[in-house]
Amino acid sequence: MQDSDGTVASPDILKPLVIRSLRRSNVRKKIAEYLFDISPSGSYTSEIAYNVNTTPTNVIGAVRGMNNRYRGDESLISLNLVEQINIGKNNAVKLYKLTDFGKEIIELMRENRKRF
């Protein structure tokens, strides 16, 4: 994640911000957990939407950001939890896949859930 001045924050500084962002949005959390469950594979928008019981528009907003509802700086891509992979002719198909940092965060959240 980049600060407003363009500097990149370290993963240790990002962890509390990322966890806060996931706790604030059930859609972001469900998407990250779904991608964790199917890892190392990726998935496309409508398949993610079907599996987390939401609309493709909500998935796009949570993953990439969208206007006021899903802030771009709290999107899963901006938080470095998810990466977008473009495939096909003219990059027509976009797949989303959890990053290694994203896997670490989901494992941490699941571990904390079991403790309490």
pLDDT digits (tens, 9 = 90+) for 47-106: 999 999 999 999 999 999 887 778 888 889 998 999 999 988 888 889 999 999 999 999
Q: Which two tokens stand for residue 25?
A: 């949005």
DSSP SS3 for 115: helix
What letter represents residue 49's amino acid?
A
Domain count, the chain: 1
Q: φ, ψ for residue 87 (rounded to 5)?
A: -135, 170
- The whole model's pTM is what? 0.84
So what's the pLDDT on residue 47? 96
Whether 110 shows a pLDDT value over 90: the answer reads no
| Three-class DSSP category at 93 | strand
Structural domain includes residue 67: yes
Tokens 């493709």 appear where?
56
Predicted local confidence at residue 2, as pLDDT: 46
87/44 Cα distance (integer angstroms): 11
Task: State the CATH number of the domain containing residue 47.
Answer: 1.10.10.10
Rg (CA), the chain: 14
pLDDT at 7: 47
Confidence of residue 25 (pLDDT cuts 50, 70, 90): confident
Question: Which residue range(s) make up the domain with 29?
Answer: 11-111
